[in-house]
Amino acid sequence: MNYDMELRQLKSLVTLVDANLNVSRAAEQLYLVQPAVSQHIQKLEDELGVQLFTRQGKRLVSLTEVGEEIVQHARKTLAETRNILDAGRDHVEESRGVLRVGTTHTQARYLLPPVIKAFNKAYPKVELEIHQGNPQQLVQLAVEDQLDLAICTEDLAGDPRLVAVPIYKWNRSLIARPDHPLLERKRITLQALCKYPLITYVFGFTGRGHFNRTFEKAGLEPHVVLSAADTDVIKTYVREGMGMGIIASLAYVPKQDRDLVLRDLSHLFPWEVTLIAYPKGKYLRHFQRHFIEQFQACVARPEQWAGLQPV
């Protein structure tokens, strides 16, 4: 049998799957017309001799079992193709390209600005894309090579498909309005925290799992009245008097948050580790390695962030 498979067919397949089988959206992302994407899929199925999708009329419903397997191989093939191209580009245009970084709001808002500023100074011709999402989304995007680097606290270290580099450790602090009665205590305890409404991060973000388990181990149940993925949202509702906030210490900005009182809680909760990760086997271009090194260099000078320690 003579196979005439093309990379563009595999790219159409993977893009179509990532677009939730929406041919119109996939065509838009590939800068093609819809019939071209459909032709790529049909030609690929004809060459393989299998159905990659189940269909209802002309509508694609889901991947078949063999389709799931083919997509996995297609992703690997496209990733290796990218590695080959990136290795070549590094020798021709080392300081040009696009760096796709995925992260959470807390990292993007409070930690990355000085890192990105220093990176931009070193590589002014590299376009840097910031993609925000929850940790589960970032892991999936990194595994699928839709991100070059993913930065967050949860999930990265536990995925065997990723290389995860520890960057820094952080802990939590309490923020409250100056008139809050808890601030009269010299030492804050878990029991004391449970007496008042709390505002903190949603589960899956910024150490919420360890936060919950700390109270569970002590046989306590905190009164969480509001949770959010965005630290700025937490601060807003603390200012509105809904409760005390428990946030990543590095997210407190003295000049901006001087109307809120900060109290360290690192004696109550375990330290969290933030990591930067990329797919195993991925060729890292020079500027991608530099970004990781720049990140490590910035957090090695933690005087600008409260409660942060380099790993």
CATH number for the domain spanning 210: value is 3.40.190.10
How much is the mean pLDDT over the chain? 88
Query: Does residue 2 form part of some domain?
Result: no
**What is the structure's pLDDT at 302?**
63
Per-residue b/e over 244-270, b at no fewer than 16 CB within 10 Å?
Answer: bbbbbbbbbbeeebeebbbeebeebbe
Q: Which domain holds residue 53?
A: 7-88
156 lies in the same domain as 303: yes
Instruction: Give the pTM.
Output: 0.74
183 lies in the same domain as 262: yes
Q: Which amino acid is at 47?
A: E
Q: What is the pLDDT of residues 164-211, one digit of tens each?
A: 999 999 999 999 999 999 999 989 999 999 999 999 998 877 678 889
Q: What is the pLDDT of residues 27-52, one digit of tens each?
A: 888 888 999 989 999 999 888 889 99
Residue 2 pLDDT level (bands cut at 50, 70, 90):
very low
73 lies in the same domain as 84: yes
31 lies in the same domain as 84: yes
Query: Does residue 49 form part of some domain?
Result: yes
Question: Is residue 61 pLDDT above 80, yes or no?
Answer: yes
Q: What is the pLDDT of residues 110-124, one digit of tens each?
A: 999 999 999 999 999
Report, as an integer, the average pLDDT of 47-59: 89
What the block records as the tokens of 295 is: 């990140």
Phi, psi of 243 (to 5 degrees): 170, -175
103 lies in the same domain as 176: no
Q: Which residues, other chains included, contact 29 with Cβ-Cβ below 8 Å and sequence gap of 6+?
A: 15, 19
What the block records as the tokens of 112 is: 């990355």
Q: What is the pLDDT of residues 237-286, one digit of tens each?
A: 999 999 999 999 989 999 999 999 999 999 999 999 999 999 888 888 89
Q: Are 151 and 116 in contact (CB under 8 A)?
A: no
Q: Helices 7-18 and 65-92 meet at what angle, rounded to 10? A: 110
Q: Which residues, other chains included, contact 277 with Cβ-Cβ below 8 Å and sequence gap of 6+?
A: 139, 142, 149, 150, 151, 156, 159, 162, 163, 164, 165
